Chains A and B, each alone.
Chain A
Amino acid sequence: MSSADAILPANTAWLLLALFSVLWIALGVYWGRRNKSFEDHALAGRNIGLALGTATAAATWITSNTTMLAPQFALQLGIWGMIAYSTASFGLLLFAPMANRIRALMPKGYTSGDFFRLRYGKLAWAIFLVFTLFYSLTWLVSMAMAGGIVLNALSGIPYVWGMSVILAVCVIYTMRGGLAAVIGTDFIQSLIIIVGIVVVGFAVLSHVSVEEIHANLAAERPALLDVLFPAAIMAIFNNLLFGLGEVFHNNVWWSRAFAFREGVAGKAFALGGLVWLPIPIAAGFIALASGALNVPVPAPDMVGPLVIADVLGMAGAVAIFVIVFCSLASSIDSLLAATSDLVTEDIYRRMINPAAPQQNLKKIAQYVTVALGVFTWAVCLPRIGSLATVLFFAGPLVGAMIWPIVTGLYWRSATSVGAVGGMLLGAGVGLVCYFAIGWYVATLIATAVSMIWVLGCALIAKPRFDWAKLKETA
């Protein structure tokens, strides 16, 4: 997009980008001074309190998708679309009791990979690593790519520059400050995002009433008000399962469960889910106002910024730029930190150099963060537009891991055969359905097949797992 089409002048956008970049890097360097060991760097000393814990759970789940795609969901799927998007919060709410159990069973754990290795053995661990690294890298690349595309669309900043700057800033402060920097900045970012959404929402409502929005929809696009909108109701199941699979397996969330102070993890995830729950509606309804406000929408994925800029002018454009920038940073930094910890702990420490001292592991984690940043940057450079398709492709892999994790945490009868078969069969059948039927059923079928296999194996299994095996000390 050229600068002439953008809603924010490029000079103003560069100034905002520079201000926030300096702020995040300075905070990352400042908070990073506390980190002496890998445990400090990867898990912030395992002492995160309730306020920071709640904010980081919510902020990490608020991606650029939440702030940009929620309005698009509302525009295309109506009221159900906004509600469907909100169901992604169930992942955080249901992970709350699991986080307490993870903290209790694995007081010295580092990653979700540690759980698979200790609970199910090396084969299940290897499959898990392949699945989760594929998913995490795809998510990371899609976020960085979205950063370049969205900053370009909002301000005309060239794609490569926008993508490079946001990625570089996140790499620098995550590398220097580790999880403490990620969680600390998440708190500030979550407040900026939530306050921004509230201010923008009420400002839009001061220009058009809900009654006017409803009357316009009833006259022009009644399907968006339909209580029985089939496509929207299907989106609920897809979003719900994708959200559950993502939160249950990914080290982004497990590392936080390990990092929160004892007794805090469950409350922080539950409150984080409640904080996140209304955001897709608060951010999404703005799209429904486009008709009543007579705002032309040439591209559905830009409906939110277009309405806000039309109604609120320059102030609105600045607000949406800052909200999107904070949403991107809060997700990219978490993915960088969690994936770097996974590579350092599960691949370097457990496979290559088991005797590595804590100080060296911290350095390795920092190098891995930089390497991940360079890899992501190189993949993003050509601006592949179809990456969202790859993320949907990962849906069956994510869905197939739900049951091995849930049963492995709660049932002594859950077995390695169940976990390995559940992941392979679920992902395999899910991927076949992805190509044969469509993306919208792939995650659902993968989860169902995996569930049947895992539960069947657990029912006929004789051995009972000893939970003490999860309390690894080093």
Chain B
Amino acid sequence: MTFSSGFLNLIIYGALIWCAVSALGLAGCLLRDAARGDVW
């Protein structure tokens, strides 16, 4: 039994999109913290 092409598509594109969303989320979170004066 082997992993299908569809599964490989899912985890590769899923991981890349997840990373992109994480980077945007981190940047957005820093801007939110900065606006509140909560960075550190």
Contact = CB atoms under 8 A, between A and B. Distances in A.
Interface of A: 44-45, 47-52, 54-55, 58, 79, 82-83, 180, 183, 187, 190-191, 194-195, 197-198, 201-202, 205, 210-211, 213-215, 218, 222, 225-228, 261, 274-275, 277-279, 281-282, 285
A225 B2 contact: yes
B19 A282 contact: yes
Contact of B3 (A47, A52, A79, A275): A79
Q: Which of A214, A226, A279 has the most CB of B within 10 A?
A: A214
29 contacts: A45-B40, A51-B30, A51-B39, A52-B33, A79-B11, A180-B40, A190-B26, A191-B27, A194-B26, A195-B23, A197-B16, A198-B20, A201-B15, A201-B16, A202-B16, A205-B12, A210-B8, A211-B5, A214-B5, A215-B5, A222-B2, A225-B2, A227-B1, A275-B25, A275-B26, A277-B18, A279-B15, A282-B18, A285-B8
Nearest to A82: B11
Nearest to B28: A51
Contact of B40 (A52, A201, A226, A281): A52
A279 B15 CA distance: 7
A179 to B, nearest CB: 10
Q: Which of A180, A194, A215 has the most CB of B within 10 A?
A: A194
Contacts of B1: 226-228
Contacts of B20: 194, 198
Q: Which of B22, B27, B33 has the most CB of A within 10 A?
A: B22
A191 B23 contact: yes
Interface residues of B, number: 29
Contacts of B30: 51-52, 55, 187
Contact of A194 (B4, B13, B19): B19
Given A52-B39, A226-B3, 5 more contacts: A191-B26, A202-B16, A278-B18, A279-B15, A282-B15
A205 B38 CA distance: 39
B34 to A, nearest CB: 8
A273 to B, nearest CB: 11
Contacts of B25: 275
A50 B8 contact: no
B8 A213 contact: yes
A212 to B, nearest CB: 10
Contact of A281 (B2, B3, B15): B15
Contacts of A278: 14-16, 18-19, 22
Given A210-B5, A226-B2, A227-B1, A50 B29 contact: yes
Nearest to B10: A210
A214 B8 contact: yes
A187 B29 CA distance: 11
A289 B1 CA distance: 21
Nearest to A31: B40
Contacts of A277: 18
A195 to B, nearest CB: 5
A105 B33 CA distance: 26
A226 to B, nearest CB: 6
A281 B12 contact: yes
Nearest to B1: A227
Nearest to B26: A55
A282 B8 CA distance: 12
A227 B2 contact: yes
A44 B30 CA distance: 17
Contacts of B12: 201, 205, 210, 281-282, 285
Given A218-B2, A227-B2, A277-B18, A49 B38 contact: yes
B39 to A, nearest CB: 5
Contacts of B15: 201, 278-279, 281-282, 285
Contacts of B29: 50-51, 54
A167 B22 CA distance: 29
Nearest to A218: B2
A44 B26 contact: no
